[in-house]
Amino acid sequence: MSIAYDVQDGIARITFNRPAKLNAMTLAMYDELGAAFKAAGEDDRVRAVILTGAGERAFCAGADLKEAIPALARNEIDISAWDAAHLKGLNLDKPIVCAINGLCMGAGFEIMLATDLRIASSTAVFSLPEVSLGIVPAGGTLVRLVRQIGYAAAMEILMTADRFSSEHLLRVGVLNRVVAPEQLSQTATEWAERLVRLSPTALQVTKRAVRELSDLPLEEAFRREAVLGQLAFTSADAKRGLAAFAEGKKVEHY
């Protein structure tokens, strides 16, 4: 399988596993990735997800230009068939930590934007080269990028097809953290382990709320926020956490 999936200690690790081809996405890999995301969402053992790429050269260098792009150009594929791989409509409310090593281009960049916490190697390189090929990054990026960072910064990335450093994407708000290459895997694992120890209910309600409330009118968003907040306040996790707080204790693991 070119998408590896493994679960240990509450963490699902999903890996682009085609390092000899810079982890470029074949048609089969889109299906495999969507299936892996669905499996993580449905598996009660999974509390957090790490998404990364095999090898040091690439996280994911984009769609395989010898297969996926020509098939799209011949109109043989409806791009919506890849929605699960791009986390469109899948509503995976468990937190996803993205560990970006090496090249993160095209489809790799798009899938990264669907994750929640993003840690990149200092040597990673980012690009959306689609406009230079006469196409557009329609795997969620035309919606997500400008909502996640400022308009001017988003349009520079979308419209120039330039390559950008980790430090640049950290400055404009695409990334959370940049670390040395040898620290990437350990740092991503430590972040995921921290998430595993937190309330799964609170984390999932938080992610669901951010997704659902961002485009609602203000008063409607406040009303919906109260409904979602009540789900957390009345959960078993909340009872445990608040009881520990009242006793001056800390919940070490939910």
Q: Is 135 exposed, middle or buried (0-12, 13-18, 19+ CB in 10 A)?
A: middle
Is 247 known to be catalytic? no
Return the beta strands (E) in 101-209 as ranges: 103-105, 117-121, 125-127, 163-165, 177-179
Q: How far is CA 174 from CA 102, 164, 178, 244, in A?
A: 16, 11, 11, 36
Mean pLDDT of 62-75: 79
Distance CA 241, CA 243 (A): 5
The single residue of 56, 110, 193, 220 carrying the catalytic annotation is 110
Q: What is the pLDDT of residue 200?
A: 94
> Which of 32, 67, 76, 130 is the catalytic position?
130
CB 28 within 8 A of CB 88: no
Higher-confidence residue of 122 and 251: namely 122
pLDDT at 77 over 80: no
- Distance between CA atoms of 75 and 138, rounded to whole angstroms? 15
Percent of the chain with pLDDT over 70: 100
Is residue 12 helix, strand or coil?
strand
Using N-to-C axis directions, what is the helix angle for 151-160 and 141-148, rounded to 10°? 140
What is the per-residue pLDDT across 110-161, written as a single tens digit (0 to 9) for each? 999 999 999 999 999 999 999 998 889 999 999 999 999 999 999 999 999 9
Distance CA 223, CA 249 (A): 33
Q: Is 220 a catalytic residue?
A: no
DSSP 222: H
Query: Shortest CA distance to 206 belongs to which of 123, 133, 116, 82?
Result: 116
What pLDDT is attached to residue 156? 98
- What are the structure tokens assigned to 39, written together? 């499996």
Inform me whether the pLDDT recorded for 175 exceeds 90. Answer: yes
Q: What is the mean pLDDT of residues 1-18?
A: 96
Res. 70 pLDDT band, cuts 50 70 90: confident
Strands 3-8, 11-16: parallel, antiparallel or unpaired by DSSP? antiparallel
Chain CA centroid to CA 151, Å: 21
Q: Would you state the pLDDT for residue 1?
A: 83
- List, in sequence order, every beta strand (DSSP E) within 82-135: 96-100, 103-105, 117-121, 125-127
In this predicted structure, what is the pLDDT of residue 115? 98
Residues 6+ apart with CB under 8 A from 159: 131
Q: Residue 157 in contact with residue 166, Cβ under 8 Å?
A: no
Smallest CA-to-CA distance from 52 within 104, 88, 129 is with: 104
Q: How far apart are CA 87 and CA 30, in angstroms?
A: 11
Distance CA 44, CA 47 (A): 8
Distance linking the first and last C-alpha atoms of the chain: 33
